[in-house]
Amino acid sequence: LYMVPNELGRARIGITVSSRVGNAVVRNRVRRRLVEAMRERYARLAPGYDLLLVARPTSARAAWGELSAALDSVLARAGATMQAPADVQAEANRA
């Protein structure tokens, strides 16, 4: 995942799947799965960033749960997601 600020006030997403991932059928399946996974997470993305997802060869063999978990992990590590209201409340209670 590459993340760069933009001046639009909304997130934009790009997905790239190289030929190392597999043939055209496999690459398109991986791309469609990533598009759907990002669609589910779009509302939680921090606004004002351009995101580029780079699919790795292991994504062709990953089950949906593994792909979703990996995507959640990479988005969290990059700081690309906003905290849900429940998460904010939980942090306030810990402080």
Per-residue model confidence as pLDDT tens digits over 61-70: 999 999 999 9
Angle between helices 24-41 and 64-78 (to 10 degrees): 60
Residue 79 contacts residue 4 (beta carbons within 8 Å): no
Mean pLDDT of 11-26: 94
pLDDT score recorded for residue 84: 55
Q: Which residues, other chains included, contact 87 with Cβ-Cβ below 8 Å and sequence gap of 6+?
A: none
Residue 45 contacts residue 11 (beta carbons within 8 Å): yes
Over residues 33-89, the pLDDT tens digits come to 999 999 999 999 999 999 999 999 999 999 999 999 999 999 999 888 886 544 444
Helices (H), 1-95: 24-41, 64-78, 85-94
